[in-house]
Structure 1
Amino acid sequence: MDFNLTDEQRMIVDTVRAFVATELEPHEDEVERRDEVPAELAGRIRRKALDAGLYAANMPEELGGGGLDATSMTLVERELGRTSYALQMLVARPSNILQSCKGEQRERYLLPAVRGERHDCLAMTEPGAGSDVRMMTTRADFDGDGYVINGTKHFISHADTADFVILFAVTGVEEQEATPSRGPRKRITAFLVDLDTPGLTVSRGSACVSHRGYHQCELSFVDCRVPASQRLGEEGRGFELMSEWLGASRLSVAATSVGRARRVLELTTRWAAERTQFGQPIGRFQGVGFPLADMVTELEAAELLTLRAAWKLDHGTMTDRDAAMAKLYASEALGRITDRAVQIFGGMGLMAELPIERFWRDARVERIWDGTSEIQRHIITRSLLRPLGS
């Protein structure tokens, strides 16, 4: 693996970092205070992102996107990770799963999402089916020329600002023997559902300590009818579709964790160099200097794991284990780094006057969404034992 960035990649990093510093970071305190991004501000940031060529950087050029490879996109995610999700999501990266759109779906959902005219959200998680996707109970029953959907999804990020939802629902069971513990294997299908469809209600979920302004919502489907033309992919192939397109989302979490950890390290290092106690900068004391050494070491290791997985994705060799290791280590390293930062800042680290307590709170969710740390460890363990027949 070549660890040197190309000239184009260095330009991408510089461009995104400057955009984050000038267009996003100045609004962090307002978003934190209001727990929302004002609509006028959101529109202004989106327009600037479009003008700067940063919008839909993950989508192919032939669709109007940036056409970046996985490594370059990981660098973009890393730089966007320096700020909160409420702000960085305005530099939108539409869900890659939309590339599965066919026919009129491309004109109605895919292309408008790339152009910034429509915005998607993804709905898999349910109150009784979080990490265990196969246990979802939301059903889509075929009826005439369409499907009738009933059920509930929760923890659906930014559904309150989306125009349509990429929904996963049960459409039957597999024709195979049921397992004693889990029963019949459910067939999962993906759908594109407009948020204003009759029978679909979107409500704000409980307040979350992480990433204020980036809301999680509940979606309630009651006899919600969608035409068969809005089925995404083949019926019963939703799980495969999910695995094909969404595996790289773990890389996004890893990359944003690395970016946020880098910013926290920069702030903490500056504090350790400028804050004096007992006649010298506190960074000269081993009790502060050694944690700083651990922070930068873990950060570099997390970044290398993340870029390695992205490089392998570009070369068609990334495995589920590669993505799981990157997501696991980077998200947990971010947790340790932000915790050490609070300790080094002392009492000021917990005060709203400084951003450290916000980074500390925001870091916690990274070990949960897009697959908990336990799920990532399960994926890694399984990759080790399966070749041995266990």
Structure 2
Amino acid sequence: MDFTFTEEQQAAAEAARGVFAGVAPDGVPSPALTRGAVADDFDRALWAKLAAADLLSLLLDEEFGGAGLDAVGLCLVLRESAKVLARVPLLENSAAAAAVQGYGSPELRSALLARAGRGETVLTVAANGRTGHDPAELAVTARQDGTDATGTGDGDWVLDGVQTAVSWAYNADFVVVPARTGDDRSVLAVVPREHKGVVLAEQISTTGERLGELRLESARITAPNVITADGAWEWLRALLTTGTCALALGLGERVLGMTSDYAGKREQFGHPIASFQAVAVQAADRYIDLRAMEVTLWQAAWRIASGAPGALPASGDVAVAKIWASEGVRRTVQTAQHLHGGFGADVDYPLHRYHAWAKHLELSLGPAAAHEEALGDLLAAHHLG
């Protein structure tokens, strides 16, 4: 395999660096010091700039105004966004739109994709299940009116259940909700935020961002707005997880850079602390973590983008990437806090914001232990097969 980035992928990353160049997390209050969310909405001005730079339509085909790039291109842009803690639903909107494009009905693609690529319609995904630890597709049941004995039909779908910690739930126009049918199939329902039977309750994340508990009470969704294709949710979940790894990598790289700058200037006993062996060794260990996070990220993104066959399904590569992302980003911010000393706890200094985001990314879509268990199950099944 060749992990050399194409000219189009490099151009997307360069455009992202230009858009994010003026964004800084400084000045945002500590989540611990606020009574509610740090903000009621995402950064709409930044969202408009991303749309103007065609960075919201990376995964869409030309017919929908997109660039036709793949998961690798998206991850390059997400990596840059995390370096400045960009408060935009870039991952959720892009991944949801890509799932609609790949698996949705012609009516749904026509209604949503071009507008999502221009930033006019915002999509998010309910991916955390009822508690944040159980499979998201099991948290909501879906049945179709007029079903026959086999559970199939062509009427409206009726959804019941609860999805917790839905990112940007109060700001998105549509939430893509995985659900389980009576015959044990997974479907994806594109649910309008303001819709009969849809109830939101505010939740605050570790980062201080506003999340929503999404409660569906016999919410009726028309058949064209429900994706029933096999593998749609599994593909979307893999892309979301890999995108989370890209965010963790970008955040970790920025934090290690901050730590390097600080250690080079902070003097103790008449010398910069960067010259002390104990400091250098810790920084070197975190550099190794980041490089491992990077190579496993590109392996997972490449498998999703190419659909390349292998001894194990792409979910194995995604699990490995998330294990490294979760553990690596946690170790990186902990080392940064340690080497920064008191500055690491100063809410006027941005490191505390990176630490909060790192903890959120570590646990999002499953911590390392959950993916280690999933990887073990894959290996056992492959061995037995």
2:82 counterpart residue number: 81
Alignment RMSD (CA, Å): 2.7
Q: 1:138 to 1:47 in 2, by over 3 A?
A: same
How far, CA to CA, are the matches of 2:338 and 2:4 in structure 1? Answer: 34
Q: Show the 5 A alignment for 1:338-377.
A: 338-377=333-372
> Structure 2 residue aligned with 1:193, among 187, 191, 194?
191
Q: Deviations over 1:133-168 (max 9, x none)?
A: 464354445259423333222111111001112122
Query: What is the one-letter code of the residue matched to 2:167?
Result: S
2:17 counterpart residue number: 17
Query: What is the one-letter code of the residue matched to 1:285?
Result: F
1:179 counterpart residue number: none
Q: 1:284 to 1:242 in 2, by over 3 A?
A: same
The answer on 1:97 being equivalent to 2:99 is yes
- Can you give the 5+ residue segments of structure 2 that lack an aligned partner in the other structure? 148-154
Q: Show the 5 A alignment for 1:223-262.
A: 223-233=218-228, 237=230, 240-262=231-253
How far, CA to CA, are the matches of 1:379 and 1:57 in structure 2? Answer: 30
Q: How far off its partner does 1:329 sit? A: 0.2
> Structure 2 residue aligned with 1:265, among 230, 236, 256?
256
Compare 312-321 and 328-337 and name the one that shifted more.
312-321
Query: What is the one-letter code of the residue matched to 1:13?
Result: A
2:139 counterpart residue number: 136
Q: Show the 5 A alignment for 1:296-307.
A: 296-307=287-298
Q: 1:58 to 1:165 in 2, by over 3 A?
A: same
Quick one: percent identity of the two aligned structures? 26
Q: Given that residues 329 and 362 in structure 2 are in contact (C-alpha distance below 8 angstroms), is that contact kept between their aligned partners in structure 1?
A: no
Q: How far off its partner does 1:233 sit? A: 2.5
Query: What is the one-letter code of the residue matched to 2:379?
Result: L
Q: Deviations over 1:264-299 (max 9, x none)?
A: 011000001001111010111122111111111111
Q: Secondary structure at the match of 1:75?
A: helix
Query: What is the one-letter code of the residue matched to 2:213?
Result: E
> Structure 2 residue aligned with 1:110, among 110, 113, 117?
113
TM (norm. structure 1) is 0.85
Q: 1:128 to 1:355 in 2, by over 3 A?
A: closer
How far, CA to CA, are the matches of 2:46 and 2:266 in structure 1? Answer: 35
> Structure 2 residue aligned with 1:146, among 156, 166, 174?
156
1:208 counterpart residue number: 205
Q: Given that residues 186 and 228 in structure 2 are in contact (C-alpha distance below 8 angstroms), is that contact kept between their aligned partners in structure 1?
A: no
How far, CA to CA, are the matches of 1:60 and 1:92 in structure 2? Answer: 15
Q: Secondary structure at the match of 1:86?
A: coil
How far, CA to CA, are the matches of 1:188 and 1:225 in structure 2? Answer: 17
How far, CA to CA, are the matches of 1:170 and 1:305 in structure 2? Answer: 31
The answer on 1:45 being equivalent to 2:17 is no
How far, CA to CA, are the matches of 2:64 and 2:124 in structure 1? Answer: 19
Query: What is the one-letter code of the residue matched to 2:181?
Result: T
Q: Given that residues 89 and 168 in structure 2 are in contact (C-alpha distance below 8 angstroms), is that contact kept between their aligned partners in structure 1?
A: no
The answer on 1:170 being equivalent to 2:180 is yes
Paired residues in the alignment total: 369
Q: Given that residues 205 and 360 in structure 2 are in contact (C-alpha distance below 8 angstroms), is that contact kept between their aligned partners in structure 1?
A: no
Query: What is the one-letter code of the residue matched to 1:381?
Result: G
Q: Secondary structure at the match of 2:213?
A: strand
Q: How far off its partner does 1:387 sit? A: 2.8
